Chain A
């Protein structure tokens, strides 16, 4: 399913982009849906850090175009498969029917470069580590 090194997900939210966008830039709003602690400096080059317990996802904002789109990097400290800044997440906010279509593309996952068995496995481990770090639905 996710063998191309790119992962796409989207959701329609019954609120305008002006309402939804801050959930990606305000730490208090971010932790309503992602992670337990967030340190965010929403400016190009500013820190993007989300943590759950002793795990962490770290990166930096690359660009912000309120309230249309933003990009940030994503990775894990100490990970050789997915170092901080190692992959890129682009989020776009499209007004649809009075609400917002949020589309998220996670790019640069290592499988993009090489598709060998080994590399696919490394990619998988790196992505799993990210998922584990950023919080699971079963977390209280």
Chain B
């Protein structure tokens, strides 16, 4: 099975996030909710934070994780910073999703056939 080269987590540049960074960013319900809020239009951080019961500081940290994973674009509008979903960042993660069950079944095959090796030809 091809093993993707693992990179240091902090080395992920915004324009080239790793699949791991994207999946980790998505593995949190607050961050997924943030992405839903900004999927169609850009919103300032304050307006995003107003949707949550967690602190503005916590929301700000979530925004940083999403930005580092390449899932958000940030642009200035006067003194405000506006955030919006960057859908193309999901492409590599999408490939992982499409491979989830096939990948799991491939590991199943490997496990069973390792645990129960057959020396003979299985075909009648």
Binding site for B on A (CB under 8 A): 1-2, 7, 9-15, 19-20, 23, 29, 32-34, 55, 78-81, 97-99, 102, 104, 106, 118, 121-122, 124-125, 127-138
Contact A104 B26 (CB under 8 A): no
Contact A98 B27 (CB under 8 A): no
CA of A98 to CA of B6, assembled, Å:
39
Contact A137 B123 (CB under 8 A): no
Residue of A nearest to B99 (CB): A137
Indicate if B104 sits at the interface (CB-CB under 8 A).
yes
- Give the tally of cross-chain contacts (CB within 8 A): 116
A33 in complex: contacting residue of B6, B24, B29, B104, CB < 8 Å: B104
- The secondary-structure label for the interface of chain A is mixed
Contact A11 B29 (CB under 8 A): no
Indicate if B3 sits at the interface (CB-CB under 8 A).
yes
B104 in complex: contacting residue of A118, A125, A132, A134, CB < 8 Å: A134
A132 in complex: contacting residue of B6, B23, B101, CB < 8 Å: B23
| A–B complex contacts, Cβ < 8 Å, 23 sampled | A2-B97, A9-B104, A11-B108, A12-B109, A13-B112, A14-B109, A14-B112, A14-B122, A19-B112, A19-B116, A23-B108, A33-B104, A33-B108, A79-B29, A104-B105, A118-B36, A129-B26, A131-B23, A131-B100, A135-B104, A136-B20, A136-B96, A137-B3
Measured as residues with beta carbon below 8 angstroms from the partner, the interface class of chain B is: 35 or more
Q: What chain B residues lie within 8 Å of A19 (beta carbons)?
A: 112, 116
Q: What chain A residues lie within 8 Å of B24 (beta carbons)?
A: 132
Residue of A nearest to B22 (CB): A128
Contact A15 B106 (CB under 8 A): no
